[in-house]
């Protein structure tokens, strides 16, 4: 299956999952719906050939779920138990949003995202800034790894035990490179006509396909189930 999802569907998925994450599941049926909702982005990650991250998420989510349920049945007393249960419940609670966000950031190309936002008539300022944010996380990670390598090469470990220096040694070079990258990015963007007065066109032609409608229906029903059970029971 090579059919790609429309960015608008992905954004809708984020919206629904983030809303549902806020409502806690109390009955087994709601738990089943919630787990189903988490499985969908994992499956989507697999279809987009991101096997490693899909596998990692699956393991983490399943183990948190298992620990959560086995410990819930017992009397969870004591510090360690309370800690473990608290940790797992946080993971179970927020993992779906994390997975969906990860999936969307990883599989959406920036030009797709921008043209989708333009089609939904978002203001340009928000669209461009959000696109830069999305593009920038991998860059920050790369730069950070380079800084860490450089520090290792010079034999600086953890900033010599001083917390202020620990932060300073990492933050300052990171800021330097990010500011420079930002300047290059704006030069590149202006060359491509960003910020001009004419309405921009896009190479990507966005069209909702069958898989988009299927997913939108699925996620709408998930949202409806949760709202109905939460407020109209």
The residues of the shown chain that bind other proteins, judged by CB under 8 A, are 14, 17-19, 21-22, 24, 26, 72-73, 75-79, 81-83, 85-87, 89-90, 93-94, 96-98, 101, 124-126, 128-133, 135-137, 140, 167-168, 171-172, 174-176, 178-179, 181-182, 185-186, 189-190, 194-195
CB of 104 to other proteins, least distance (A): 9
The rounded distance, in Å, linking the Cα atoms of 66 and 88 is 9
Nearer to other proteins, 167 or 224 (CB): 167
Q: What is the DSSP letter of 5?
A: P
Nearer to other proteins by Cβ, of 142 and 209: the residue is: 142
Cα separation, 152 vs 68, whole angstroms: 39
Q: How far is the CB of 50 from other proteins (least distance, A)?
A: 19
Q: Judged by CB, which is closer to other proteins: 188, or 213?
A: 188
Whole-number minimum distance, CB 112 to other proteins, in Å? Answer: 17
Q: How far is the CB of 171 from other proteins (least distance, A)?
A: 5
Is the Cβ of residue 74 or residue 160 nearer to other proteins in the bound state? 74
Quickly list DSSP for 138-186. HHHHHHHHHHHHHHHHTT--GGGG-HHHHHHHHHHHHHHHHHHHHHHHH
Least distance in angstroms from the C-beta of 210 to other proteins: 26
DSSP 48: T
Q: Would you say 78 or 161 has its CB closer to other proteins? A: 78
Dist. CA 40–CA 169, nearest whole Å: 41
Q: Report whether 119 contacts 36 (CB < 8 A).
A: no
Q: What are the start-end ranges of the E strands in the chain?
A: none
Contacts of 134 (CB under 8 A, 6+ apart): 105, 108, 110, 113
Query: Closest CB to other proteins among 21 and 54?
Result: 21
Nearest-approach distance from CB 137 to other proteins, in angstroms: 6
């Amino acid at each position: 299956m090579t059919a790609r999802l429309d960015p608008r569907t992905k954004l809708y998925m984020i919206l629904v999952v983030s809303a549902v994450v806020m409502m806690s599941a109390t009955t087994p049926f709601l738990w089943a719906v919630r787990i189903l909702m988490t499985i969908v982005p994992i499956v989507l990650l697999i279809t987009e050939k991101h096997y490693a991250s899909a596998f990692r998420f699956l393991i983490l989510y399943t183990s948190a779920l298992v620990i959560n349920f086995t410990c819930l049945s017992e009397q969870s007393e004591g510090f360690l138990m309370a800690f473990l249960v608290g940790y797992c419940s946080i993971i179970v609670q927020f993992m779906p949003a994390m997975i969906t966000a990860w999936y969307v950031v990883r599989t959406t190309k920036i030009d797709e995202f921008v043209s989708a936002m333009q089609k939904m008539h978002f203001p340009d300022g928000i669209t461009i800034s959000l696109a830069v944010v999305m593009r920038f996380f991998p860059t920050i990670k790369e730069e950070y790894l380079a800084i860490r390598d450089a520090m290792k090469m010079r034999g600086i470990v953890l900033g010599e035990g001083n917390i202020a220096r620990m932060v300073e040694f990492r933050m300052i070079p990171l800021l330097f490179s990010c500011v420079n990258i930002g300047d290059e990015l704006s030069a590149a963007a202006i060359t491509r006509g960003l910020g001009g007065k004419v309405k921009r066109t896009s190479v990507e032609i966005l069209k909702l396909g069958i898989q988009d409608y299927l997913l939108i229906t699925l996620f709408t029903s998930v949202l409806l189930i949760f709202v109905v059970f939460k407020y109209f029971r």
